[in-house]
A and B are shown apart, each in its own frame.
Chain A
Amino acid sequence: MSALSVPEPVEGITADPIRGSGLRPRRFGAWYIAEHRLLLMRAYGTTILATSVGNPLVYLFALGVGLASLVQAPLGDGRGGEVSYLAFVAPALLASAAVTVASEEFTYPVLSGFKWNPVFIGARSAPVSSAQIADGVIIAVILRMVVTCVIYFGVMVLFGAVPSPLGAVGIVSATLTGLAVGAVIMAYTSTVTEDKGQMAIIQRFIITPMFLFSGTFFPLAQLPGYLQWIGWVSPLWHGNELGRVLAYGLNEPGWLTVVHCVYLLAITVAAWRAARIIMTRRLDK
């Protein structure tokens, strides 16, 4: 990932014990931070696993089996013709699962790292840099998203919701979707110095509407024209469509598929970089 980089190397670092001592932190600092974050996640590891298995079961059953029995409109947007509602909704639910993890992990845990349990400030006294702290936080969440998505995908397969073998690549596209949304939240949360309920606002007024208006449960085209822009700017819509292309060959022009990928990558890189800069400005005062 281009956003991930080692702090600028300094000439003259030799076998000298003092100068050499910075070598490993310069190279692996972000991974040490990620290690710490994963250790923290282990404290609620059981919850993570339970929700990772429970969520897809509940959603796929309720929507793919329950709601699907009421959905009569043909979803003829697959290259091979019509697809079931289950096949239509499953790739979007996968992307939503990653976004949910991102909205959990990049809000309170990040705010807390500055305020209530100021581990970022503690880490800054060690040889790691502020940018590495940002990287480490993001890396750990990516790992958690991958775990969640792999489990989710497994349940989708059990439900028979993935017609194409390419669908497995949806794990990557879903994680990228979560990352695009998450990096933006991370950059924002890093600027918050006082908790005035901003985290709840993100959840209620950004994440939830995004689920509803990103073509998750019905095609975006069903929305009145003046609301469709929400989908176009929403990383989740791009992630949903990308997942559908992979899972059942959603019939869309090739250039649009490229746009989905480029859009998600561009947001991720820009927001990740912003997060590093904001983190650095805040911790290096």
Chain B
Amino acid sequence: MPAPVISASALTKKYKDFAAVDGISFEVAPGESFGLLGPNGAGKSTTMRMLGAVSTRTGGDLDILGLDPDRYGPEIRSQLGVVPQADNLDQELRVRDNLIVYGRYFGIPRAVVAKRADELLEFAQLSDRAKAKVDDLSGGMKRRLTIARALVNEPKILLLDEPTTGLDPQARHILWDRLFRLKEQGTTLVLTTHYMDEAEQLCDRLVVVDKGTIMAEGSPAELIRVHSSREVLEVRFGSDRNAVVAQQIAGLGDRVEVLPDRILIYSADGEAELGELLRRGLEPLTSLVRRSSLEDVFLRLTGRTLIE
């Protein structure tokens, strides 16, 4: 196995007494697409800022591209592309100028950065908007421009902090497509998300993070296999009846989760469980059989849903 491009060991970030990141360890291989999945406040963004050589760790070891970010911050950041959670494009500049100004921060000569800006606008499907003000772009376009900006230095590692939060489904799919292309070209991707479908789409491997610690690690399929069943039966009886019904369905499937609005029955065969339910004379208002997702893994590991 080639040397990892990121290696974190017992990585910790404390603000006074509060540990935002509490001793997490992981490695990312070159070309890999690695995800940090967790709810808001899990410590994902803090981890990303440490990986981005901006925030200094308060404990543990961190090695990025063979260098210690405490000493080689500028060198490491020269090799990174960063897509922050909140866009911080320069809204007062035009689209193309945003790329040029940013490229200059890396010491890239003006002529080179101008050429790259045009290529990146092409890649981000924004060529026809080169002269537009950033303010006039849609949310999805701003996101694509931010990604284009993150690529201006041809980074070895791209860090994406919740890249599609707040975007509509179509904009998300366009973005995923662009990220998938980068992955195909061999760029290492590290992304945080609280969307399971995003993690499943983009990540080769991920860690589930909660309260600053890693709860589980593996590929999406592995995590689902280990921590959940193949299928899930979701039934709703109305919020006032769920608790009562829960007692009557005890023993169904491998495991039952009672949520405020619905009941989840984990099983290898969801349809069979639904049949059994009906045989017991229980008629749900709605029922749905679906494949297990990372959301179920998260629920199992933390007892909480991802988006609360």
B197 CB to closest chain A CB, in angstroms? 27
User: Do residues A36 and B74 form an inter-chain contact, with CB atoms below 8 A?
Assistant: no
User: Do residues B67 and A122 form an inter-chain contact, with CB atoms below 8 A?
Assistant: no
Any chain B CB within 8 A of the CB of A167?
no
Any chain A CB within 8 A of the CB of B71?
yes
Any chain B CB within 8 A of the CB of A15?
no
Given A19-B67, A32-B105 in contact, is the A121-B79 Cβ separation under 8 Å? no
Q: A123-131, A198-206, A236-244, A254-262: which lies at the B interface?
A: A123-131
Within A107-124, which residues are at the interface with B (CB < 8 Å)?
117-119, 121-124
User: Do residues B75 and A32 form an inter-chain contact, with CB atoms below 8 A?
Assistant: no
User: Do residues A40 and B93 form an inter-chain contact, with CB atoms below 8 A?
Assistant: yes
Within B220-246, which residues are at the interface with A (CB < 8 Å)?
none
Inter-chain contacts of B67 with A (CB < 8 A): 18-19
Any chain A CB within 8 A of the CB of B128?
no
Q: B27-35, B49-57, B267-275, B294-302: which lies at the A interface?
A: B49-57
How far, in whole Å, are A117 and B92 apart by their CA atoms in the complex?
Answer: 8
Given A25-B78, A35-B101 in contact, is the A118-B106 Cβ separation under 8 Å? no
Any chain A CB within 8 A of the CB of B107?
yes
User: Do residues A18 and B105 form an inter-chain contact, with CB atoms below 8 A?
Assistant: no
How far, in whole Å, are A122 and B134 apart by their CA atoms in the complex?
Answer: 14
Q: B80-88, B136-144, B177-185, B255-263: which lies at the A interface?
A: B80-88
Any chain B CB within 8 A of the CB of A24?
yes
Inter-chain contacts of A7 with B (CB < 8 A): 74
Inter-chain contacts of B49 with A (CB < 8 A): 285
Any chain A CB within 8 A of the CB of B65?
yes
Inter-chain contacts of B52 with A (CB < 8 A): 125
User: Do residues B65 and A25 form an inter-chain contact, with CB atoms below 8 A?
Assistant: no
User: Do residues B106 and A25 form an inter-chain contact, with CB atoms below 8 A?
Assistant: yes
How far, in whole Å, are A21 and B67 apart by their CA atoms in the complex?
Answer: 13
Any chain A CB within 8 A of the CB of B176?
no
Any chain B CB within 8 A of the CB of A39?
yes
User: Do residues B74 and A39 form an inter-chain contact, with CB atoms below 8 A?
Assistant: no
User: Do residues A18 and B101 form an inter-chain contact, with CB atoms below 8 A?
Assistant: no
**Quick one: which of A35, A128, A285 contacts B74, CB cutoff 8 A?**
A128
B18 CB to closest chain A CB, in angstroms? 13
Inter-chain contacts of B102 with A (CB < 8 A): 122, 126
Any chain B CB within 8 A of the CB of A270?
no
Any chain B CB within 8 A of the CB of A73?
no
Inter-chain contacts of B118 with A (CB < 8 A): none
Instruction: List 7 tightest A-B contacts by C-beta distance, closest first.
Output: A24-B107, A22-B75, A22-B74, A126-B105, A21-B78, A122-B88, A125-B82
Residues of B within 8 A of A (CB): 49, 52, 54-56, 65-67, 71-80, 82, 84, 86, 88-93, 97, 101-102, 104-107, 153
Q: List 14 A-B pairs, Cβ < 8 Å.
A: A7-B74, A19-B72, A25-B77, A25-B78, A33-B105, A40-B93, A117-B91, A119-B88, A121-B84, A122-B102, A125-B84, A126-B153, A284-B55, A284-B56
